[in-house]
Amino acid sequence: MTSNEIKSLTGQYVMGTYGRFPVVIDHGEGAKLYDPEGNEYIDFTSGIGVTCLGYGNDAWVDAIAKQAKKLSHVSNLFYTEGPALLAQKLCERSGESCVFFANGGGEANEGMIKLARKYSFDKYGAGRSTIITLKNSFHGRTITTLKATGQDVFHNFFFPFTEGFRYAAANDWASLEEVLGDDVCAIMVEMVQGEGGVLPLEYDYVQKLKALCDEKDLLLLADEVQTGIGRTGKLFAFQQYDVLPDVVSFAKGIAGGLPMSGIMANEKCKAVLGPGTHATTFGGNPIAAAAALVVQDALNDEFLAEVTAKGEYLRSKIEEMNLPCFGKTRGMGLMIGIEVAEGYNKGDILNQLMANGLLVLTAGPGMRLLPPLAITYEEMDKGLAIMKKTLS
């Protein structure tokens, strides 16, 4: 089918919940994507931080094909090998103690919220169920995770929302103290706010959060749906802050492009969700697990050091260009935010880059780059050249 045919069929039959870019993607290779007419795009988006190994990675494709032939799905009523190996790997590499597998980021965060509330209920009884999240955060699109999201624009239409969330300004201790209380059971944060505009938490703030949580027996919940799986140059962003959260959610990059998510919990929280308290039909799907094991193999220490180096390279090259429409860059690893200068529109910038063959994202008031972690210097240079030519 042609791009126009696909767009018109989508418009007719697919629910219009997305403001889509006017581009149809047909196939990909490395960090390059192609439309049905063969036009090439350098991809600085990786499907919003998902396709960490790029497109068509041989080991990833082979593992999926092999597993699909062997066993596709049996439900969690039975044991299977892949999820067990993956859980072991994630625990060994993170310092956490156990894993629950789910399918998407919002769903993983639901599990994390359930765990926090049950931990507190088991130990202290009812009435200690409030979770503090941060202003400008993003935690998902379910009724509960919308309410967990600290942005008023998300608290609309779908009333009544789940009760039990209060919001503190990030990196602001006084603001946190204002919303603390005897009804609080947990504090939930993104180490680097993604959708909110690529805003990293300060090292000292996270250290203080962890100490406070330990002192008051609150759970520190890390939403690593976007920051996890190597995005910041460590397997998990909390490893940049030298803390071990009580519970961590992950999703986007975990299986390199197949739907999978999960939560990891520490020893203290290991037994909270016992039989009958939490489940999901597709969680720990063997094909997704096989794909995720390839991702884990790829993301060794050397690869993660490269993510940091590539992030620094991209940021320094962009700052060197001194483009009139851009201000400062910020971020961690290959999670990069770029300020948009006054008088320029982020949507216009995105559209102009796309028309010239470079795909980027926006977040908060600025631009956001989330290239595949496996992007090559050649591909980055090609994208940078398009940026320079388009925006100078």
Ligand X SMILES: *Cc1c(COP(=O)(O)O)cnc(C)c1O
- Chain residues in the site for ligand X (CB under 6 A): 104-106, 109, 138-140, 190, 194-195, 223, 225-226, 251-252
Other Cβ atoms less than 10 A from the Cβ of 90: the count is 24
Q: Nearest distance from residue 104's CB to ligand X, in Å?
A: 3
Query: Which of 140, 371 has the CB closer to ligand X?
Result: 140
Alpha carbon distance 91, 290 (integer Å):
17
Q: Nearest distance from residue 143's CB to ligand X, in Å?
A: 13
Other Cβ atoms less than 10 A from the Cβ of 334: the count is 29
Query: Which of 32, 231 has the CB closer to ligand X?
Result: 231
Q: Nearest distance from residue 1's CB to ligand X, in Å?
A: 27
Between the CA of residue 131 and those of 50, 112, 116, what are the distances in Å? 28, 11, 8
Alpha carbon distance 276, 7 (integer Å):
44
Q: Nearest distance from residue 49's CB to ligand X, in Å?
A: 7
Q: Nearest distance from residue 229's CB to ligand X, in Å?
A: 12
Residue 92 CB contacts under 8 Å (≥ 6 apart), including other chains: none
Residue 253 CB contacts under 8 Å (≥ 6 apart), including other chains: 46, 49, 50, 51, 52, 228, 229, 230, 231, 295, 373
**Nearest position to ligand X, beta carbon:** 105
Query: Which of 148, 386 has the CB closer to ligand X?
Result: 148
Give the distance, in angstroms, between the CA of residue 269 and the centroid of all CA atoms in the same chain.
23
Beta bridge mates, 168: 134
Give the SS3 label for residue 261.
strand
Query: Which of 106, 286 has the CB closer to ligand X?
Result: 106
Pairing of strands 247-250, 261-265: antiparallel
Query: Which of 251, 350 has the CB closer to ligand X?
Result: 251
Q: Nearest distance from residue 158's CB to ligand X, in Å?
A: 15
Query: Which of 109, 130 has the CB closer to ligand X?
Result: 109
